[in-house]
């Protein structure tokens, strides 16, 4: 049923966005750093920077993938890379320890800093080439609304989770070092590994191996 497909793509986008949003990385580190030093609004400015930087990244990834669309084998290989990225990211989440974030006291414009860091961060490029891009093409084969819901779910949770972290950190600076935060990240790490394994099947199907 198409409604079920819509819910599936929305939930998948939300899961991937939440995972990317709260997993340790350069953008989350700067969100926390700016919040601790200059307050929640500076942290929120960093959190929303993907809404500015990601459009050219997404469009470039979709262009590259569209040129390869005629080769199911190459698409399958890309799916394998996506699976490897998810499994690696999940394992890294399981290894997270206290002290994962370094606080930089240098004062800069928070939004500008977030934009620069996100453009220089390889993760968005890898994600949209190997995971997000193929999922967009898959959703387009279902319905345009499936694509819209996937993207909406992804960015709502990607940005929203970082905003929530900024709000929590301002109220409780110890949250980011608490067992609750690490438990959430590790649980999502396990989910990433499981999803990565399902992406392997997608790669096998696309490449025509099975």
In 15-174, where do the E strands start and end? none
Instruction: For residue 23, give the DSSP letter.
Output: S
Whole-model pTM: value is 0.77
CA 179 to chain CA centroid, nearest Å: 22
Tens of pLDDT, residue by residue, the chain (210 residues): 677 788 899 999 999 999 888 887 778 878 887 887 778 888 899 899 999 989 998 998 888 888 876 666 666 677 777 777 778 777 877 777 655 555 554 555 777 877 887 777 778 888 898 888 888 988 988 889 999 999 999 999 999 999 998 898 888 767 667 777 777 777 877 877 887 777 676 666 655 444
Total domains, the chain: 1
Range of the domain at 75: 2-98+107-207
Q: What is the DSSP string of 64-109?
A: HHHHHTT-HHHHHHHHHHHHHHHHHHHHHHHT--TT--PPP-----
Calpha distance 10→152 (Å, rounded): 7
Contact 99, 27 (CB under 8 A): no
């Amino acid at each position: 049923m198409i409604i079920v497909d819509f819910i599936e793509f929305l939930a998948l986008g939300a899961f991937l966005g939440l995972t990317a949003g709260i997993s340790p990385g350069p953008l989350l580190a700067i969100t926390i750093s700016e919040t601790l030093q200059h307050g929640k609004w500076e942290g929120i400015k960093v959190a929303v920077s993907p809404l500015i930087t990601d459009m050219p990244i997404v469009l470039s990834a979709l262009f590259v993938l569209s040129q390869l669309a005629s080769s199911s084998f190459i698409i399958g290989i890309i799916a394998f890379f996506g699976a490897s990225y998810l499994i690696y990211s999940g394992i890294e989440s399981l290894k997270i320890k206290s002290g994962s974030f370094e606080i930089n006291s240098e004062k800069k414009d928070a939004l500008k800093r977030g934009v620069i860091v996100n453009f220089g961060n390889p993760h968005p490029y890898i994600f949209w080439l190997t995971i997000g891009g193929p999922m967009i093409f898959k959703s387009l084969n279902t319905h345009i609304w499936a694509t819209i819901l996937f993207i909406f779910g992804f960015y709502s949770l990607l940005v929203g989770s970082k905003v929530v972290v900024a709000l929590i950190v301002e109220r409780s600076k110890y949250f980011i070092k608490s067992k609750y935060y690490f438990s959430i990240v590790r649980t999502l790490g396990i989910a990433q590994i499981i999803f990565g394994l399902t992406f392997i099947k997608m790669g096998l199907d696309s490449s025509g191996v099975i």
